[in-house]
Amino acid sequence: MNNFFQAIARRDADAVQALIDAGADINAADERGRTPLLAATHANNPAIAKLLIDAGADIHKQDHILDNPFLYAGAEGHLEIVKLLLAAGANTRIRNRYGGVALIPASEHGYVDVVRELLTSSDINVNHINNLGWTALMEVIVLGNNSPNHIEVAKLLIEHGADVNIPDKEGVTPLRHAKRRRFNEIAALLEHAGARL
């Protein structure tokens, strides 16, 4: 195993910095295609992620399952790393293995702070449609559980321009899904925004 990955597993920022200073390859991938930066993101270690970013790590490189630091941080709700990557110029259009952008899994999981950060501090496409035919708003309804966080995410998406009438591949609208699932608060938000059945 590359020394970077051992140091990251130990959460040893000093060892990571020493490797950087010694000229070790900060973009060397492990057997899963992960770079040290992606490994630091998996470990939710913003301090080590920042060291690697500041040293010029490739923030866009994807692993064997098409994750990269930005996509993974968004999907797992790692807000501090999302902020670091946005500040470093993360490409918000890179897609995960489902054809989605970081906003979609962040919304599905109800990560309010990450969704807010993506919508207010980046150029992410609020209406991006993934391979399943779903937008972030649709995922909140189809895969969410109507928690207060999911309701807040739906509200944020709508406030930031989500098209409330983009249907799924079968032509079923977000409002119809919300009513079928008895997600009354989300249905009310959709209706207020002009959603149609």
User: Rounded distance, CA 139 to CA 107, Å?
Assistant: 7
- Is the pLDDT at 1 greater than 70? The verdict is no
Cβ atoms of residues 67 and 102 within 8 Å: no
Indicate the residue type of 71: L
What per-residue confidence (pLDDT) applies to 126? Answer: 98
Any idea which of 2-16, 109-123, 170-184 has the lowest mean pLDDT?
2-16
Give the percent of the chain with pLDDT over 70. 99
- Is the pLDDT at 148 greater than 60? The verdict is yes
Residue 109 is encoded by which pair of tokens?
Answer: 């999981």
User: Rounded distance, CA 179 to CA 96, Å?
Assistant: 29
Q: Which domains does the chain have, with CATH numbers?
A: 1-91 (1.25.40.20), 99-196 (1.25.40.20)
- Is the pLDDT at 2 greater than 80? The verdict is no
User: Rounded distance, CA 80 to CA 50, Å?
Assistant: 10
Q: What is the mean pLDDT of the chain?
A: 97
User: Rounded distance, CA 5 to CA 40, Å?
Assistant: 8
User: Rounded distance, CA 197 to CA 191, Å?
Assistant: 9
Phi, psi of 96, rounded to the nearest 5 degrees: -85, -175
What per-residue confidence (pLDDT) applies to 49? Answer: 98
Length in residues, the chain: 197
What per-residue confidence (pLDDT) applies to 82? Answer: 98
User: E strands within 101-145?
Assistant: none
For 29-61, what is each residue's pLDDT tens digit? Answer: 999 999 999 999 999 999 999 999 999 999 999
For 92-142, what is each residue's pLDDT tens digit? Answer: 999 999 999 999 999 999 999 999 999 999 999 999 999 999 999 999 999
Provide the whole-model pTM.
0.95
What per-residue confidence (pLDDT) applies to 20? Answer: 96
Helices 69-76 and 79-87: angle between axes, nearest 10 degrees: 150
Residue with tokens 């009354």, as numbered in its chain: 184
Spell out the alpha helix ranges (H) of 22-111: 36-42, 46-54, 69-76, 79-87, 103-108
Q: How confident is the model at residue 162 (pLDDT cuts 50, 70, 90)?
A: very high
